Amino acid sequence: MNKKLLLFIIFSLLLMNLSAQSVLGLWKTIDDVTEKPKSILKIYEKDGAIYAKVVEILVDGREDALCVKCKGPKKDQPIEGMIVFGGLKKIGENEYGDGTILDPESGREYRCKIFINPKKPNQLKVRGYVAFFFRTQTWRRVSS
């Protein structure tokens, strides 16, 4: 009886660890300069690709911000509710790329890659590329 209970506990812990490694779920974006939270995004899968949607803006006075510098259909649209990255495909273990990310502050889009920090599974590395140059942000998982 004790062996079965022990096996069940070990199996449950392994499953919890696997789910903790997923990029899916809620993530808090952090300002690079102030290190204060900026927004909460929901990362989800649709038709085999990964997308992120802004579900809440955390900066006081910016809750109703519009994407004034965006081009095309996103121009002057509310940032809250906007899909800011998408089309990412799995390219490795807990790593997705070959998509684009939008910076709502500048209105610019960049090639994008995201991956879980292997040493800190509650951190998501989000990397935007222009040619050979890149910038990486660290987002933090929002606990349920």
How large is the average pLDDT for residues 109-134? 95
- Classify residue 101: in a domain, yes or no: yes
Place of tokens 């990397």: 127
Whether 78 is in a domain gets the answer yes
Residue 102: give the domain boundaries: 23-141
Do 82 and 65 touch, CB atoms closer than 8 A? no
Q: What is the CATH number of the domain that holds 135?
A: 2.40.128.520
Cβ proximity of 51 and 85 under 8 Å: yes
Beta bridge partners of 110: 101
Q: What is the pLDDT of residues 62-103, one digit of tens each?
A: 999 999 999 999 999 999 999 999 999 999 999 999 999 999
With respect to residue 12, please indicate whether it lies within any of the assigned structural domains: no
In a domain, 116, yes or no: yes
Does 3 reside within a domain?
Answer: no
Distance of CA 104 to the CA centre of its chain: 15
Q: Into how many domains does the chain fold?
A: 1
